[in-house]
Structure 1
């Protein structure tokens, strides 16, 4: 376990962490070992099965597209077979990043453009994918056993970051703690080391030196990303409450049920 007790080392899985320990405005607490988030699980070792069973993770929600699952197929560690829910949520940065790799050898690394694309992705995801995010909450509300829920995308930082922030807000966690959980990605992935490694790989591919700071949006997150999502929600729906009710189908009764299921009072 790392210095931050929410982050767990899980062989072959990036950004795996427990969302427990946050307090709500009403005095309740998000329980430990009830909600987990991560990057994709395709590369986890069979030894991970013992740890995942021990953490009683019985449900997995996967936000990845079919194309992402072709690159990193769904697989489970030995001895662990969760209830699996594929709920694809699109992100408009993915195709652009794929094109970026193809043009590296003939053009400079577009650091500013890269950050802009991720801002745009955060503005787009909660609006264009409201139906998919609604299914995420429907799945949580249908989760009746005592086991934990793990939700993930490919890197566990963008789609997972947005849905994780929405979930914590609906549970009544204040904005400062929601942002703390969102930014924890930067610690969980060892931002400096990962950026240097990715920049080295891209430099080799491009035949030119790329500054590790330029690749930051590919591996980490920043406050402005989540603020962009909130701003888009307010602009489109008028308020967060209107978004949750009209966009996600979560009225007061369903939000209360969500809190009953995923809070310790």
Structure 2
């Protein structure tokens, strides 16, 4: 969609990513996105998907600046993953190394911070409890959204290679937005800020790997992260697996 540049099916392309059981991820039930602010043409597309829930994972200031335009018949749910106590960094003095480290540290917190684990738990429980197609998103649809997608894909048995390649697709789907943001920061604050902004608006393997390594170190497996860390029960995990595979 032209106006929602990182909207895509969590199941991946074609018939869906293959999983370890020999099945595939089920298409058409769970979508990921950047902020949901469609133009008229894209609203028609969104409406045709019959989305039951729109999970907005952004902070309150992000939402005030750019509130969702929710399709008719879709229930809007706000789950503030990182919380309003964490200020959004300014691009004025953000160098590329600082931006990389900031993102890596945030990905570790997705696993290490009990409050963030609880908020992801709220998202996963609601996805499991509500039938029908659903979408979740943050601002660019890459970090909070990217981790949620990697968790669900890993849970149902998508290969690590496909989980990572799917995560990195943001650089393709959002290329125009990344270029525009970097150019604006360069013009306003100079080349280093522009380069730092490009890092902040993009994805790179080390960021997602930081979360995956944190899961391995703390819990051993993704399923134990979801049970012992996030607090999902066996029934919820079973529902997610059944819903997301075909």
Offset of 1:76 from its aligned partner? Answer: 2.4
Which has the larger Rg? 1
Question: TM-score, structure 1 length as denominator?
Answer: 0.82
Residues 136 and 49 from structure 1, CA distance in 2 versus in 1: closer, same or farther, beyond 3 angstroms? same
Offset of 1:115 from its aligned partner? Answer: 0.8
Offset of 1:72 from its aligned partner? Answer: 0.9
Offset of 1:239 from its aligned partner? Answer: 4.1
**Residue segments in structure 2 that go unaligned for 5+ positions in a row:** none
Distance in 1 between the 2:241 and 2:104 partners? Answer: 30
Distance in 1 between the 2:221 and 2:240 partners? Answer: 20
Q: Secondary structure at the match of 1:241?
A: helix
Aligned pairs for 1:36-185 (under 5 A) are: 36-41=31-36, 43-77=37-71, 80-90=72-82, 95=87, 97-98=89-90, 100-101=91-92, 104=93, 110-128=95-113, 129-144=116-131, 147-185=132-170
Within the candidate set 187, 193, 199, 1:204 is matched to 187
CA contact (8 A) 2:107 2:208 kept: yes
Q: Deviations over 1:110-156 (max 9, x none)?
A: 21111111111111123320000111111011112xx3111101110
Question: TM-score, structure 2 length as denominator?
Answer: 0.88
Offset of 1:53 from its aligned partner? Answer: 2.1
Distance in 1 between the 2:120 and 2:223 partners? Answer: 15
Distance in 2 between the 1:57 and 1:205 partners? Answer: 39
Distance in 1 between the 2:46 and 2:27 partners? Answer: 14
More displaced stretch, 65-74 vs 132-141? 65-74
Name 2:207's counterpart in structure 1: 225
Q: How many residues align?
A: 240
Runs of 4+, deviation exceeding 6 Å: none
Distance in 1 between the 2:171 and 2:240 partners? Answer: 28
Distance in 2 between the 1:238 and 1:222 partners? Answer: 23
CA contact (8 A) 1:200 1:210 kept: no
Higher relative contact order (CA 8 A, sep 6+): 2
Q: Deviations over 1:67-126 (max 9, x none)?
A: 11111123225xx2302221110079x73522x43xx4xxxx521111111111111123
Name 2:5's counterpart in structure 1: 14
Residues 253 and 76 from structure 1, CA distance in 2 versus in 1: closer, same or farther, beyond 3 angstroms? closer
Offset of 1:211 from its aligned partner? Answer: 7.8
Residues 96 and 22 from structure 1, CA distance in 2 versus in 1: closer, same or farther, beyond 3 angstroms? same
**Residue segments in structure 1 that go unaligned for 5+ positions in a row:** 1-9
